[in-house]
Amino acid sequence: MADLRFSGLSRRAFLGGMVGLAAGSAFGAGTGAAGDGFTFILCSDLHAQDVPQGETVIRDIVNAARRENADFIIQMGDFIRPDATALREIWENKNPATGFAGGRYFAIGNHDLDAVGREAFCAAYTDTSDPYTPEAKPYYSFDHKGLHFVILDGNETNTKFRLTEAQMAWLRADLEAAAGRCVLFSHESLDHELENGAEARALLADVNRKAGWRKVVAAFSGHNHSSYDRAIEGIRYIQINSASYVWINQDSKVAKRYPPEIVDKYSLMNNSITYDRTLYAVVRVDARGIHLTGVKGKFLPPTPQDLGMADPDFAFNKCPLVPWIQDAEIPFRDTPPAHA
Ligand SMILES: [Fe+2]
């Protein structure tokens, strides 16, 4: 696994590069870009039925989508078990006054496949009345106001994380055919977690080289319950923290965090630390770029420092151990060629 200790350097280097941002750069080509842009909500790893605050987490995300006037929500896996009907009702509430009327898209997480098969999970969470997802598929893409959204399924099984050969072939064809800029979403990251992540990253870089402009701009992921931002060959790889908690792989002194009845009900909490608020990102897209603002929380004590963790900034999985989602600016630096 790559050590992300130096990921902050690439972010600083990137921010320094923003000075030369070209004015009036296009959103995409030939896709009817909306001048004023749009907003979507991005979240991951709710694990809603496994955390004491699961209901609040779902409600906070739905409420944020309504409040921000988002066009849709993308959640990147380890979500709500399909049989958790009371929690699903909160998520699926499309009443514009109390829920969220817009679309909901998903990437499949490994734990989504613990209890049900892939087809059942897709069938449960695909809104087939949505024009962008008329069929329940594990990986798919759609265009929205000039941006091309690609959703990947990195679970060959729920313990083996890679993009199948068929999916890699589909991904190349899909990106090459796309008219506008492309953003990718997967549960397991292309930069840190997928077995064939290097091959997938090379594919993205190759698409950009052949296109002659930075067509693929970013790949977002979850799974590690962390927050970081790396640039590799001009493409941003951004990890979105869990909405709910982080697994620390050791005794978390849960009895100091919750009363006994909660501890009994949510055994995952014995080795995890919850966040004091729901983490998600509000993502604004306009002609200049993608502007991501993440919720900043705190650990519910005892914190990693309280627990005496040797290197609390980096958890056992070599990802930053932080209770927030860091902000990100992804400028659309170059314009597509006129024929694109
Ligand atoms: Fe997870």
The pLDDT of residue 269 is 97
Percent of the chain with pLDDT over 70: 89
Could you tell me the pLDDT band of residue 253, with boundaries at 50, 70 and 90? very high
**SS3 string of 6-25?**
CHHHHHHHHHHHHHHCCCCC
Q: Is the pLDDT of residue 27 over 50?
A: no
**Domain architecture of the chain: domains with CATH:** 7-19+38-331 (3.60.21.10)
In the reported structure, the alpha carbon of residue 242 is separated from the centroid of ligand 1 by a whole-number distance in angstroms of: 7
**Interval 35-51 mean pLDDT:** 94
- Bridge partner residues of 141 (DSSP): 150
In the reported structure, the alpha carbon of residue 159 is separated from the centroid of ligand 1 by a whole-number distance in angstroms of: 12
Could you tell me the pLDDT band of residue 36, with boundaries at 50, 70 and 90? confident
Rounded distance between C-alpha atoms, residue 2 and residue 239, angstroms: 13
The pLDDT of residue 339 is 60
In the reported structure, the alpha carbon of residue 223 is separated from the centroid of ligand 1 by a whole-number distance in angstroms of: 5
Question: Roughly how many angstroms between the first and final C-alpha of the chain, as a whole number?
Answer: 37
The pLDDT of residue 87 is 98
Residue 224 CB neighbour total at 10 angstroms: 28
In the reported structure, the alpha carbon of residue 162 is separated from the centroid of ligand 1 by a whole-number distance in angstroms of: 16
Instruction: Looking at mean pLDDT, say which of 32-41, 104-113, 125-134, 306-315 comes out highest.
Output: 104-113
pLDDT tens digit string along 182-225? 999 999 999 999 999 999 999 999 999 999 999 999 999 999 99
pTM for the structure as a whole: 0.90
pLDDT tens digit string along 134-172? 999 999 999 999 999 999 999 999 999 999 999 999 999
The pLDDT of residue 226 is 96
**Mean pLDDT lowest among 1-10, 177-186, 277-286, 300-309:** 1-10
In the reported structure, the alpha carbon of residue 35 is separated from the centroid of ligand 1 by a whole-number distance in angstroms of: 36
Structure tokens at 333: 């630096």
pLDDT tens digit string along 300-313? 999 999 999 877 77
pLDDT tens digit string along 75-112? 999 999 999 999 999 999 999 999 999 999 999 999 99
In the reported structure, the alpha carbon of residue 11 is separated from the centroid of ligand 1 by a whole-number distance in angstroms of: 25
Query: How big is the chain, counted in residues?
Result: 340
In the reported structure, the alpha carbon of residue 340 is separated from the centroid of ligand 1 by a whole-number distance in angstroms of: 38
In 3D space, the residue among 37, 41, 17 whose CA is nearest the CA of residue 288 turns out to be 37
**Mean pLDDT lowest among 59-73, 262-276, 303-317:** 303-317
Rounded distance between C-alpha atoms, residue 137 and residue 125, angstroms: 10
